[in-house]
Amino acid sequence: MDDRIASAREALGRDCVVLGHHYQRDEVIRFADFRGDSYKLAQLAAAAAGKYIVFCGVHFMAESADILSHAGQSTILPDLNAGCSMADMAEITQVEDCWEHLVAAGLTNDAGEGITPITYMNSTAAIKAFCGERGGVVCTSSNAGAAFKWGFAKNSKVLFLPDQHLGRNSGYAMGIPLNEMVVWDPYLINGGLTPERLKTARIILWKGHCSVHQRFLPEHVDNVRSKYPDIRVIVHPECRWEVCQRADGIGSTEGLLKMIRTAPAGTMFAVGTEIHLVNRMGKEFATEAKRVITLDDSGCLCTTMFRISPQHLCWALENLVDGNVVNRIKVKDDVKHWARVALDRMLEIQ
């Protein structure tokens, strides 16, 4: 299988660029021209020069690559079943219903004057377009804090979706107390909130989460500290607020890597993020006399990311060699326009 993939890569040459997310399994990510988190890969997709962008990630990432792609480029997702449960927690009609309620309550209007909508990269193209059309922006875990500052510079309130934990952790880090944040539940009447709570809230969080990062609990931090008193606990901001408050450091996947990379030899880390990345960190930094373990011994992989296999990658590449573009991700033009606006704003935020 490795030989067939390598042969197809050689035949395609510079016509094809393979992007791999950090959570991919080792036997897939070894073939990536570039690897990174969603923010880094969005930048790379925007700068890609080849005819084909083969995205070893999940559906919303491939959508973003297509939105940022140039004329004549095609974005391919090796397995169309590689989705994201978090992205699925914010469906466009639910978000539109929420916004109509906020407009009716006099908190904003159709142009977004009053509330800045911010969506995490882990959302559908339709949600990104929704935010772009209403003066909002897309963010990643790398620049969520900067996106919040940008949003509050425009309006006094922010609607953040779909990950409540990233939104809560980002807002709290900039000094907004928890009692000025509320959670909108799309399955409850009026989101489960009274008009008074909505008026006093500065951040309206969508009730969504990452199934991997929500599994980490405060007791996991306590347990690993009792076992290894000198350990440094670092976690992804998609983890619960209670977990992040117990951690020594919070960062995106790129941020977590930087923390370990810049630490002195002999440092031990417990990392709260996806298990494929943690295991890869353990192997990579062992050569620098640094030990990296998972925060929770049971671990957890991103099951949808795991759907991308060497077989899927090989099949997609060999079809491209034969001139067949398979599993192309193509966002509708009307959605692409406003989603591109929101993504371009994201790329401009420092």
Q: Kindly report whether the global pTM for this prediction surpasses the value 0.85.
A: yes
Helix (H) / strand (E) element for 271: namely strand 268-272
The residue ranking higher by pLDDT, 42 or 250, is 250
**Are residues 151 and 220 located together in one domain of the fold?**
no
**Are residues 108 and 200 located together in one domain of the fold?**
yes
**Are residues 134 and 181 located together in one domain of the fold?**
yes
Please state whether the peptide bond connecting residue 186 to the residue before it is cis, i.e. omega within 30 degrees of 0: no
In the chain, the amino acid numbered 44 is L
**Are residues 78 and 95 located together in one domain of the fold?**
no
Does a structural domain hold residue 349?
A: no
How far, in Å, are 139, 200, 203, 237 from residue 178 at the CA level? 21, 12, 9, 16
**Are residues 145 and 228 located together in one domain of the fold?**
no
Q: pLDDT (tens digit, 9 = 90+) per residue, 142-160?
A: 899 999 999 999 999 999 9
**Are residues 11 and 76 located together in one domain of the fold?**
yes
CA–CA dist 42, 213 (Å, integer): 22
pLDDT at 349: 85
Q: Write the DSSP symbol of residue 180.
A: G
Return the closest-CA partner of residue 144 out of 124, 123, 114.
123
Q: Which of 38-42, 180-184, 217-221, 343-347 has the lowest mean pLDDT?
A: 38-42
**Are residues 173 and 114 located together in one domain of the fold?**
yes
Does a structural domain hold residue 343?
A: no
pLDDT at 350: 66
CA–CA dist 231, 75 (Å, integer): 42
Return the closest-CA partner of residue 306 out of 64, 20, 38, 91.
20
Q: How many structural domains compose the chain?
A: 3
Half-sphere exposure of 75 (CA within 13 A, CB side): 28
**Are residues 161 and 53 located together in one domain of the fold?**
no
Is residue 17 within 8 A of residue 53, CB to CB? The reply is yes
**Are residues 173 and 197 located together in one domain of the fold?**
yes
Does a structural domain hold residue 346?
A: no
Return the closest-CA partner of residue 11 out of 313, 322, 328, 327.
322
CATH of the domain at 10: 3.40.50.10800
Is residue 25 within 8 A of residue 276, CB to CB? The reply is yes
Last residue of a domain, one of 209, 232, 252: 209
**Are residues 308 and 276 located together in one domain of the fold?**
no
**Are residues 113 and 204 located together in one domain of the fold?**
yes
Q: pLDDT (tens digit, 9 = 90+) per residue, 160-200?
A: 999 999 999 999 999 999 999 999 999 999 999 999 999 99
pLDDT at 301: 79
Cβ burial 201-240 (10 Å sphere, 16+ → b, else e) = bbbbbbbbbbebbbbbbeebbeebbeeeeebbbbbbbbbb
Residue 337, number of CB atoms within 10 A of its CB: 14
> Residue 62: which domain range?
2-82+304-332
**Are residues 94 and 201 located together in one domain of the fold?**
yes
Last residue of a domain, one of 176, 209, 242: 209
Does a structural domain hold residue 91?
A: yes
Does a structural domain hold residue 273?
A: yes
Q: Write the DSSP symbol of residue 306.
A: G
Surface-to-core class of residue 38, CB atoms within 10 Å of its CB (0-12 exposed, 13-18 middle, 19+ buried)? buried
How confident is residue 89, by pLDDT bands cut at 50, 70 and 90? Answer: very high
**The token pair that represents 30 in the structure block:** 């070894």
Does a structural domain hold residue 299?
A: no
Contacts of 91 (CB under 8 A, 6+ apart): 186
35 by DSSP, 3-state: which? Answer: strand
Does a structural domain hold residue 341?
A: no
The residue ranking higher by pLDDT, 305 or 183, is 183
How confident is residue 50, by pLDDT bands cut at 50, 70 and 90? Answer: confident
Last residue of a domain, one of 268, 294, 320: 294
